[in-house]
């Protein structure tokens, strides 16, 4: 008997895949439903510091549970162990590429004191708004306000998660970068730690319909890239950062919407 592909497209496989996707989204919705009334109640009652710590650890725990559930369903496989080395690291700006909607969840699931720059519209969402307000995540509605809040979080010892593309990758392996990472790094003299997010699928990437079934399991790996010193010239730094990420990712991911199988990856553990 020859080698058999574990992915066997067919009616029963398709039914299971859609069931797994539905259970995955349903579990995420349940986590949000359970936490948002608690977060909404605690936000005005707790002082900023304890509220921030509780909010971020709760989101980390929820993210980890969600990824465990996806792995248990066989929908995804994750290799995130490299992120654990950052827990004891000094304040850093974490600058990953952004291939899918899951990217922030991958990073959040491993780092308890993480400040995230988020779309301001999330603050108004009924399921997510209370959680991100309690965690004191940073909305991107004001350029100067975002920079000030980023600096305050870095000054408290937090890591700052900021996607330098500003949105999901529009064309593999990397979209054009904005200058926000370099600007904050220069102003507050904080190093930039690159994160390389690799996946064998275009699932939940730019333009991927939410109900479209990917080839499962989808594999994700996050590895640590180069750590850049705070720059002096933001424009030159942004060009160097883009060149580095593009070179690293070009050998790890393909250009198509549904990429070929990657290397072995393991479910989330620990």
Which tops the pLDDT comparison, 109 or 4? 109
Percent of the chain with pLDDT over 90: 79
Q: Is the pLDDT of residue 265 over 60?
A: no
Contacts of 99-102 with CB under 8 Å at 24 or more apart are: 99/168, 99/169, 99/172, 99/197, 99/199, 99/202, 99/205, 99/253, 100/168, 100/197, 100/199, 100/202, 100/203, 100/204, 100/205, 100/208, 101/168, 101/204, 101/205, 102/204, 102/220
b/e per residue, 81-120, with b = 16+ CB within 10 A?
Answer: eebeebeeeebbbbbbbbbbebbbbbbbbbbebbbbbbee
Q: What is the pLDDT of residue 222?
A: 98
Q: What is the pLDDT of residue 211?
A: 80
Rounded mean pLDDT of the chain? 89
Is there a contact between 216 and 7 (Cβ–Cβ < 8 Å)? Answer: yes
Q: Which phi and psi (to 5°) does residue 220 adopt?
A: -130, 140
Q: Lowest-confidence range among 49-53, 139-143, 150-154, 158-162?
A: 139-143
Q: What is the pLDDT of residue 126?
A: 86
Q: What is the pLDDT of residue 259?
A: 39
Confidence of residue 9 (pLDDT cuts 50, 70, 90): low
Q: Which of 164-173, 185-194, 199-208 has the highest mean pLDDT?
A: 185-194
Q: Is the pLDDT of residue 268 over 80?
A: no
Q: What is the pLDDT of residue 12?
A: 80
Q: What is the pLDDT of residue 264?
A: 40
Percent of the chain with pLDDT over 70: 89
Mean pLDDT across 43-61: 97
pTM of the predicted structure, to 2 decimals:
0.88
Per-residue pLDDT reduced to its tens digit, 214-259: 999 999 999 999 999 999 999 999 999 999 999 999 875 443 444 3
d(CA 234, CA 93): 14
């Amino acid at each position: 008997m020859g080698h058999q592909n574990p992915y066997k497209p067919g009616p029963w496989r398709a039914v299971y895949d859609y069931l797994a996707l539905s259970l995955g989204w349903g579990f995420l919705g349940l986590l949000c439903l359970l936490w948002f009334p608690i977060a909404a109640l605690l936000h005005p009652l707790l002082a900023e510091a304890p509220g921030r710590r509780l909010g971020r650890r709760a989101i980390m725990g929820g993210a980890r549970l969600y990824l465990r559930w996806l792995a248990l369903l066989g929908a995804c496989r994750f290799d995130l162990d490299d992120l654990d080395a950052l827990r004891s690291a000094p304040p850093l700006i974490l600058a990953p590429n952004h291939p899918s909607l899951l990217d922030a969840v991958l990073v959040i699931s491993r780092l308890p004191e993480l400040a995230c720059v988020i779309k301001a519209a999330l603050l108004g969402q009924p399921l997510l708004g209370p959680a991100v307000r309690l965690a004191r995540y940073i909305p991107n509605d004001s350029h100067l306000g975002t920079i000030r809040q980023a600096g305050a979080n870095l000054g408290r010892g937090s890591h700052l998660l900021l996607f330098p593309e500003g949105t999901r990758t529009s064309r593999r392996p990397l979209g054009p970068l904005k200058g926000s990472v370099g600007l904050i790094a220069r102003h507050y003299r904080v190093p930039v730690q690159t994160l390389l997010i690799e996946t064998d699928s275009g699932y939940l990437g730019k333009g991927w319909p939410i109900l479209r079934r990917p080839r499962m399991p989808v594999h994700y790996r996050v590895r640590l890239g180069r750590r850049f010193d705070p720059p002096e010239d933001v424009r030159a730094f942004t060009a160097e950062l883009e060149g580095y990420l593009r070179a690293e990712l070009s050998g790890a991911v393909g250009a198509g919407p549904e990429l070929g199988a990657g290397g072995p990856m393991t479910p989330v553990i620990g």
